[in-house]
Structure 1
Amino acid sequence: MAQRTQPPFRADHVGSLLRPRTLLDARAAAADGSLDAAELRAVEDAAIRDVVALQESIGLQSATDGEFRRTSWHMDFIYQLQGVRRTDEQLAVHFRNAAGDLDFSSAALIVDAPVGLDHVIFGEAFEFLKSTVTTATPKLTIPSPSMVHYRGGPAAIDRGVYPEEDEFWSDLSAAYAQEVEQLAALGCTYLQLDDTSLAYLNDPAQRAELAEKGADAEHQHERYIRQINAALANRPADLHVTTHLCRGNYRSSWAAEGGYDFVAEALFGELDVDGFFLEYDDERSGGFEPLRFVPPGKQVVLGLVTTKRPQLESKDDLKRRIDEAAKFVPLEQLCLSGQCGFSSTVEGNDLTLDEEIAKLRLIVETAAEVWG
């Protein structure tokens, strides 16, 4: 079976990578005022050149900047939208891992002015990445429109600005459509919309929590799918778009559980993307049966290699699971990746750089043996 020449690729990865110590030290120095913005930028540039070269040397056909310029995979983007701002309120998220519980808190958001876009968010970061790659396709990751809503919910939308929620959604999708158009104009041909909300909604506990707040938890995923489609409706033909769904990824911990059954029919049948990066590294993700709803022409990137633990999977186990998935969607529509990024936030997951590299090599080698 031939290697894919357009995204997503047979061997791919979600996007974020472990930050090197030099970058972490530079960020700390910038925070305490002993390093200025230009000096921090120079350290980031050097780290990104190194990590792009690493991805290409491993044999990956796509390369990201590791999200090295971000603190958070999503909030660094969301706070740059016009009309959205950080508040003093702290939003608490309960995470779990094999060792127990882990709580995370960050600033909440409020929509207190019309949502819009006044610059290409991450545009300069993409242009630098594009200038750095030599063999790989530069891939940019941004949070999906759903994350702006799921993060704060209806209560975060000022009713003086948006008396009707439909007006908020119209402006948000329009801002994203403008972002997509402008990224394409910069030469972006591989864009990924990261979305935890569509995975969280598979968890009955998450839906119950939303229902308690007055949300239509049974149909919220359908609204999200419509709004993402509106944002992508006019994208150019050479811009390949994927979405990544996971149940939380913070310091090797997760926030939600459950298979894709609840959202599968609408998600796979209606979301207008070229491929789905799906978390499938353990029993939290459920079985492969929901993949029966994936239509022809869509790729499924199986996130079988965990980024949460250092232990290296065996090729035989990965091949067996790929065979299991191929019972529900044809093998030619499948690809392989890690289940999530290695460092969705600046802290990173609990594994070393060498362990990260070993997992990326395993993905490339396994994909070559399965698909040729």
Structure 2
Amino acid sequence: MSKSKHNPKCDIVGSFLRPEEVKRARASFRADDISLAELREVEDGAIADLVARQVEHGLTVVTDGEFRRRWWHLDWLKEFDGFSTHHLVKELNGVSNEIELGYIDGKVSYDSDRSHPEVEAFEFLANEAAKYPGVAAKKCISGPNMILVDNYLQLGKRDVPYYGDDVDLLIEDIGLAYQDAIRDLYDHGCRFLQIDDTSWTYLIDDNFNQRIEAMGYDKDTVLEWFRHVSTLALENKPEDMTIATHFCKGNFKGHPLFSGFYDSVAPIIAQLPFDRFYVEYDDDRSGSFEPWAVLKDTGTTFVVGLISTKNPAMETPADIEARLAQARAIIGDNVTLSPQCGFASVEEGNSIDEATQWKKIDLLVSCESLV
């Protein structure tokens, strides 16, 4: 790894619990009671406060908490031409929820010549981070696989506009669109990019695999889709840009969506040219570190997510130290620490309070000496 790249010992995944003023402003905007400019003013103030607070708590890499987003993935994917979303109601964990799923509605591309809200959001974050010496701004976006997951494996759409049933052509266009998007972020100053992609963990869950088999797909074919499009997306990436990936087993209001071990997907993911892999390991559901032995001596950083953002119980430094030692014994010394996920993958947030959120951040930073 180039010495110019970011490789913090302790790092966050990205999202934070939304402040009440942001929730109120977003609700008012949806009700047409305030303008987009008025919403942005509230978000700007909250993000500036969040960046300052992250720095006060000792973080050297900061995010905007995803305060401008409803969903962790869809707000980013809407930056692409040829992608739309469908609103529906779905029962999850015994509760009726309003959700969105994405689908292909034309040729997929990314237009670097027009303004993009997510790029503007990064510029604001970068300007705030620049106020603090030694602090880097990290942009979090969702990965290309999520387009395929929503369209094919969630909504079950096979014959799509422009592409028909030609998945390979669609994958080529998604990969090229991501290359253009990454270059656009780079040209606007981004040097630390995290690509979030839970698609891999869909395929470690036996129930989901049974579902896609019933739809006429098989796991190996879908994994090859994911490998191919992810590899294409990273082609021509700038040499001095840190590009990481994060995945977990889902995090909808603090509830996981999938279960299983990483054994069948880790060897494929490890082939992808990311600089850092953020992986959920906050409980026994994750299994051992053995699947990631393939990363040993590769120079890639394994960021082990040992601090839970969905469970209010506090981990202990002793437990974290023991788990880090287990990871190093298998993966090597290039192991660092993070929470297992963000604190609010959707705007409602996880089932913890703000005080606990910051206690978790303080625990993370205090464990830097263990890394």
Alignment TM class, shorter chain as reference: over 0.9
> What is the deviation of 1:37?
1.3
**Shift, 1:365, TM fit:** 0.8
Tell me the distance in 1 between the aligned counterparts of 2:126 and 2:358: 22
* Cα displacement (A) at 1:27: 1.3
Partner of 1:335: 336
> Partner of 1:153: helix, strand, or coil?
helix
Aligned to 2:205: 203
Q: What is the CA–CA distance in structure 2 between the aligned matches of 1:75 and 1:114, rounded to whole Å?
A: 18
Task: Calculate the TM-score normalised by the size of structure 2.
Answer: 0.92
The match for 1:260 is: 262
Q: Distance in 2 between matches of 1:103 and 1:340?
A: 23
Which residue among 121, 126, 132 is the counterpart of 1:125? 121
Report how far residue 91 of structure 1 moved: 6.8
Using the alignment, how far apart are the partners of 2:327 and 2:72 within structure 1? 28
What's the counterpart of residue 276 of structure 1? 277
**2:19 maps to amino acid:** P
Identify the range of structure 1 (292-301 vs 41-50) with the bigger mean alpha-carbon deviation. Answer: 292-301
CA-CA distance at 1:240 after TM superposition = 0.6
For the residues of structure 1 that align with 2:31 and 2:191, how far apart are their CA atoms? 38
2:100 aligned with 1:107, yes or no?
Answer: yes
1-structure distance, mates of 2:50, 2:228: 36
Report what 1:356 is aligned to.
357
* Preserved contact between residue 110 and residue 181 of structure 2 (Cα < 8 Å): yes
Q: What is the distance in 2 between the residues matched to 1:8 and 1:207?
A: 35
Deviation at 1:223, TM superposition (A): 2.3
Question: Residue type matched to 2:347 in 1?
Answer: V
Cα distance change of structure 1 residues 103 and 325 upon mapping to structure 2, 3 Å threshold: farther
SS where residue 264 of structure 2 aligns?
helix
Q: Which residue of 2 aligns with 1:79?
A: 78
Name which of 170, 173, 179 aligns with 2:172.
170
1:127-206 alignment, distance < 5 Å: 127-133=123-129, 134=132, 135-153=134-152, 155-156=156-157, 158-163=159-164, 164-206=166-208
SS of equivalent residue, structure 1 residue 313 = coil
Separation in structure 2 between the aligned mates of residue 114 and residue 93 of structure 1, nearest angstrom: 32
Match among 300, 303, 310 for residue 301 of structure 1: 303
Aligned to 2:9: 10
Report the Cα distance in structure 2 between the residues aligned to 1:230 and 1:124, rounded to whole angstroms: 25
Structure 1 equivalent of residue 220 of structure 2: 218
CA shift for structure 1 position 160? 4.8
Contact 1:110 1:158 in 2 (8 A): no
Structure 1 distance, partners of 2:150, 2:287, is: 24
The answer (yes or no) to whether the contact 2:307–2:360 under 8 Å persists in 1 is yes
Name the CA distance, whole Å, in 2 between partners of 1:253 and 1:292. Answer: 28
Partners of 1:112 and 1:157 within 8 A in 2: no
Aligned to 1:59: 58
Instruction: Report the aligned-residue RMSD.
Output: 1.8
Structure 1 unaligned segments of length 5 or more: list them: 96-100
Unaligned 5+ residue runs, structure 2? none
Q: CA deviation at 1:38?
A: 1.2
Q: Is the 8 A contact 1:242 1:275 kept in 2?
A: yes
| TM-superposed deviation, 1:159 | 4.0
Question: Kindly, what percent of the aligned residue pairs are identical?
Answer: 34
Contact 1:258 1:285 in 2 (8 A): yes
The alignment of Structure 1 onto Structure 2 pairs a total of residues equal to 359
SS at the partner of 2:244?
strand
- 2:266 is aligned with what amino acid? A
Any conservation in 1 of the 2:89–2:96 contact (CA below 8 Å)? no
Q: Taking structure 1 as the reference length, what is the TM-score of the superposition?
A: 0.92
Aligned-pair CA distance for 1:107: 2.9
Q: Is 2:248–2:280's contact at 8 Å kept on the other side of the alignment?
A: yes
Gap change, CA 1:26 and 1:159, over 3 Å in 2: closer
SS in 2 for 1:156: coil
TM-superposed CA distance for 1:192, in Å, is 0.7
Contact 1:208/1:217 (8 A) holds in 2: no
What secondary structure does 2:219 align onto?
coil
- Listed one character per residue, the Cα deviations across residues 340-368 of structure 1 (whole Å, up to 9, x for unaligned) are 0000000000111111111011111112x
**Superposed displacement of residue 305, structure 1:** 0.2
2: CA distance, partners of 1:145 / 1:93: 26
2:104–2:160 Cα contact (<8 Å) kept:
no
Give the Cα separation in 2 of the matches to 1:359 and 1:353.
10
**Given residue 362 of structure 2, which amino acid in structure 1 is its aligned partner?**
R
Query: Cα distance, 1:70 vs. partner?
Result: 0.3
Q: Are 1:38 and 2:31 an aligned pair? A: no
Q: CA deviation at 1:105?
A: 4.5
